[in-house]
Structures are given as C-alpha cells and as structure tokens.
Structure 1
Amino acid sequence: MDPNQAPYSSSRKRDTGASDFSGGGGRVPPNALEAERSVLGGVLLENDAMNVVLEELSREDFYSEGNATIFDSLSSLFREGQPMDTVTLRETLVSRGKLQAVGGDEYLLKLTNTIPTVANIQAHAKIVREKAVIRRLISSCHEIAAKGYGDYGEMEEFLDSAERAVFDVAKARARSPYEHIKDVVLRTFTEIHQAAERGDRITGLPTGFRDLDDKTAGMHPGDLIIVAGRPGMGKTAFAMNVGMNACVLTKQPVAVFSLEMPKEQLVRRLLCSEAKVDGNRMRSGQLWREDWPKLARAAGTLSELPLYIDDTPALSMMELRAKTRRIKSEHGLGLIIVDYLQLMRSGSRNDSREQEISEISRSLKALAKELGIPIISLSQLNRGVESRGNKDKRPQLSDLR
C-alpha cells in the first residue's frame, strides 16, 4: 500500500489533531492529498517556491505521514542552502532511513511527473493548511465533548478551557503577512481620529545620524549590527529612525520584523516622531487643533516610504529567511530590522536557550551575506551591566541575554 494513501496513523493524529468524534463512524479526517503532492512536487520543480510554502505550512499541516516526512527533508535542504531535487531529496531520505516509508523512488518520481506547473502552489498550500486547521478543530471539539461527558469540574473553568482550546486553533491559523506601511498608516490614522472624537563620506547605507555615519561610513552589505540595551532604553525608537532615514535618503525598501510590538503601535510611534506630537495626547485622544495638520503631513510622508512591516510573533529563522527573500524578489530590499533577537526561534532543537540565540545570530549573519544587505537586530542586555557597581558598565558580549 502506498504510504501516502494509507489511512491516517495514530501518530499523525497526535501531530495534527485529527482525532474522530466518538460515534463518527470511523470517517476519514478532512485532507487534501492531491494538494499536498502538488506542493511537494512544485518545490522540487521550482526551489524558490519553498519561500512561499514556508509562509503557509509546517510539517504538522500534512495529513500524510509520508508527505510530512518529505516536507521535513526538503526543509532541511532549504535550511542548509542545498538544491532541492529528486536526487538530493532521495539521499536525505536514505540517510534518515525513510525512503521506503514515504513510498520509495516511484513516489518521488510521481511527485514531479504529475505536476504540470508551480503557478498555483500558494493556493494549494492554503488548501493543505485549511484542512489541517479543520482537523485541529475537530480534535479540540472531541476533547471538549469527552470532558463534558465526564467530570468537567467547575462550569466556569470548563467553559474557559473550551473557549481557550478553540481560540488556540484560531490563533495558530493566523499568519501575519508583511504589509505596506501605507495600509497600516490609514488604519492607525483612523484609530487616532476616533480616539480624538471620543475625547557625504558614506560608502554604505546611511543611518541618518551624522556622528555615527562618520565613524562607520554607514551600514554595509553583509553587516549584522546588534543594537543592545536594557528594556526601555529606546532601542526600537533608534532602529526605526535608522530605518526611516534609510528609506528617505536612499529610497531603498526596508523590512521591519516587529516580534514584540503590533504594527499599529509601531506606526503610532512613527507618526508621533515624524509629526512631533506628544504620544500621550495621541493615545488619550486629547490632540490639539494644531496637531492635526502635523499628523496629516506625517501620514503622507510615511505612506510614501518603501517600508514593510511584519509583526508575526515568535518568528522562526526559516520563516524570516523565506519572508525576506520574497520581499527582495518582489520589491527589492536595502535593510532588515529585527525587534528583537531573543523573541525569535531557531527552528531546530537545542540543549539550551544560549545555544539557540547563538544559532539565530549566526543565521542572521548568513542571511545578511546571502541577500547582500545589512541587518540590524535589537537585543536585550541582562542585569549584569547594572550589578558591576562603580566598575566600567560598558556592555560586553557576555551581557547579551
């Protein structure tokens, strides 16, 4: 029997949440095997399509265990910068002892021979993900029903846990795409209005800070620049000023990955800074009459900047790589800003968080070199700086969290 046509295994039920309801007659959970094969075959035919696929799918989204294993192997090749074709995929599967488990050489050839085009790969990936979400929802509802038939405890706690289970499925479904700042400015400006009604020696990319540019000659392709500081010291404000200056002075697109702050909050800060308007007045809706022309001009200025914002939380290194490659291919890219380092995931298993942070830093440096652009990564400093008493408090590498 073809492993990729086989009934859903118990291990995949645990991975994707595809348990049946009791009394469901053993019905097969929702799936889209043809779409799964189309996605995998499309990546083998056109490696760049992996950037699109990784924005939509993870291993657990595949219904077929064999297809999930193939996706996992392709992800490893992608992460290592290796070509993805039937030869390299076969070698990876053989090294893992998984070739026969996925259907052997015959199935690998089938993946590429039955895919006429990769034009619809994103649509097919969305179908795969949609079926995975439904399976997870079925699983959550099954668990709620089982608990309801048994000892569900306090009613309020039971309702809360049921609501949280369904919410977690919806939250996992969300994918926060990058967005042109013009769209965020319009949305943010509307919120501000509603609140008011209720009451050159530079050889690299310039930062816009003259003294800093004089000392560094700007930010250069392949640079990984760590901006570290204790919480509340203005790291985000500084990085966003650098990003805006780069946009204005060079007209090059800048991508901001805000893992901590929502897009709207970030744009609100930018509007305050650009318009020279007090942020507290803006948040409370207590704007002065003379503030509005300033905000209107600031909104117009920001909307014209080639600035893209992504606020996906807990972004993995693989997701960041896929998103930045896609932005560069579609719009060009001159600078990446990551806020901040410790909120990222490496995507691989590590014995310690310190090792994971080191791996993320190395991966960011490799990405800067690959794309030929500078990357600014913000980082938190630990309390070691403050505990030195009267000693030199200049930050050291060991002070990075």
Structure 2
Amino acid sequence: MRLSAPIFRLKRHARLLSRSTGNPLHQALDHVARDEGFRSWSHLAAAAREGAGPGARVLNGLVPGDLVLLGARPGQGKTLLALEMVAEAAVAGRQAFFFTLDYTERDVGERMMAPGVAQAIASGRIVIDTSDEICADHVVDRLHDAPHGTLAVIDYLQLLDQRRQTPELGRQVDVLKTFARTAGTIIVTISQIDRAFDAQEQRLPTVADVRLPNPIDLKLFTWTCFLHDGEIRLEAVA
C-alpha cells in the first residue's frame, strides 16, 4: 500500500496532532496509521520497511534535524547507499542535494539509475553540486532556502577542510549540526574508515574506526550508519 506522504511527514503530522489534541504521541501515531489504512503505527512502519531498499530503509529511520555519519571501507557501497537515499527522497517529492568533492556530475548521474531520477534532476528536485568550494558554509548557503525535510549528502567528510582557507573540520561539523537542527534538514556525511579496520575481528566498523586526520567531536552526529559486506547498521549516537 502506497503512503500518502513520506514517513517523516506522517511523523510530523502525528506530533502536531498530539499537541493539538493533548493525546500521547503513540496514540496520534496510531491515528495517522489508521488513516493510511494500517492497524497501527508499528504495522505501517513494518510494511514500509518490508518493501523498501537499503536507501529507503535508512532514510525512513531519520527525521529532519538529523546529522548522520555514513562510513565504510572503499568498495563497500557507501556512496551507492547515499545516492539511493537521494533518489528515494526526490522520487517521494522531497528536495535532495548531493555535494561531492570526489566525483563529476556525470559520474553521479550515471550511478543514479533508479526510476524517476532523471526527471528529478531535470526538475531540480535533485541538485548535484561538484564545486571546488564545498565546505560547511557553502552547503549552508546552498540549503538556505531549501524546504523543511530536505536531504543533503556530503561526499565526503574528510575533504571538507582540504583547502587552507576553510575552517577546521570540527568547526565545520558544528556548523552543519546547528543548521540541520534549526532548518529541519537531514544532512548525511560520507566518511572514510581507517585502514586498520579488520573485518575478521568485527563485522562492521564503529566510531573508533572513523578516519580522523583532524579531530572531530563525533557526538555532534545524531546517527551513525556503518556498512560492510552487505550488512548495514544504523545507530543513534549516545
């Protein structure tokens, strides 16, 4: 069954309903789910996960204001997962941005083969930014007028302070965190994982395996998403 709106919008509607009626949030969520034709919110969420690809499943776990660190070793599909999230957001009618310091616009377009993506790029719902000026301030400036719930992916975290004139990486992450929270944007930063990560000792990387040539307070992120050998784990940052 197709939902009338993306899950994040349904959640927002439930929160507003809870405030206006004074009922608990779980009751408002169930009410919204019944309007969508499901028995309860848990039934709706399970149905959404069952038919969704990896990008949609990760995206459905996020809400506006989230700052996400998406990390994996090379060749494990982190960029592909991020592009799937961009495609899912755009096809659902949301604005999506892909900022990359690593790929050309043609490279990105060729990797985004999901139905409806070409139309979304042509209409401007997907914006691919390959500027050499990409940094936190550049991202915030491009997203300044973007609607609530916009998804932005940055490829990738460790390149944001490669130019001498940009602030240190920790300050840039703080800027992104503040903007995501105040603007209601979801920002996903693709991250490198240190070569010392050993898949024979642990199935998936952790925050301890994130490559940090310059210090960052990883608690600024609301979620981490690590993947390796086809397994994906999305976890809230404590």
Match of 1:266 among 105, 108, 115: 108
Partner of 1:367: 179
Gaps of 5+ in 2: 1-43, 47-51, 212-238
Residues 318 and 346 of structure 1: CA distance in aligned 2, closer, same or farther (over 3 Å): farther
Say whether 1:255 aligns with 2:88.
no
Residues 226 and 220 of structure 1: CA distance in aligned 2, closer, same or farther (over 3 Å): same
Residues 321 and 267 of structure 1: CA distance in aligned 2, closer, same or farther (over 3 Å): same
Q: Percent of counterpart pairs with the same letter? A: 23
Higher strand share: 2
In the TM superposition, what is the alpha-carbon distance from 1:340 to its structure 2 partner? 0.7
Partner of 1:383: 195
Residues 383 and 264 of structure 1: CA distance in aligned 2, closer, same or farther (over 3 Å): same
Higher helix share: 1
Would you say the 8 A contact 1:227–1:379 is kept in 2?
yes
Residues 332 and 217 of structure 1: CA distance in aligned 2, closer, same or farther (over 3 Å): closer
In the TM superposition, what is the alpha-carbon distance from 1:338 to its structure 2 partner? 0.7
* 2:187 counterpart letter in structure 1: I
In the TM superposition, what is the alpha-carbon distance from 1:347 to its structure 2 partner? 8.3
Say whether 1:245 aligns with 2:88.
yes
Between Structure 1 and Structure 2, how many residues are aligned? 164
The 2-side partners of 1:345 and 1:314 are apart by: 10
Gaps of 5+ in 1: 1-199, 203-207, 276-296
TM-score normalised by L of structure 2: 0.58
Would you say the 8 A contact 1:252–1:332 is kept in 2?
no
The 2-side partners of 1:229 and 1:346 are apart by: 20
Would you say the 8 A contact 2:55–2:84 is kept in 1?
no
SS in 2 for 1:391: coil
Cα deviation 1:188-227 (Å, max 9, x = unaligned):
xxxxxxxxxxxx339xxxxx537973x8853101111111
Partner of 1:113: none
Would you say the 8 A contact 1:255–1:337 is kept in 2?
yes
Residues 371 and 348 of structure 1: CA distance in aligned 2, closer, same or farther (over 3 Å): farther
Structure 1 vs Structure 2 CA RMSD: 3.4
In the TM superposition, what is the alpha-carbon distance from 1:228 to its structure 2 partner? 0.1
* 2:131 counterpart letter in structure 1: T
Partner of 1:16: none
Partner of 2:159: 343
The 1-side partners of 2:124 and 2:148 are apart by: 13
Match of 2:66 among 215, 219, 223: 223
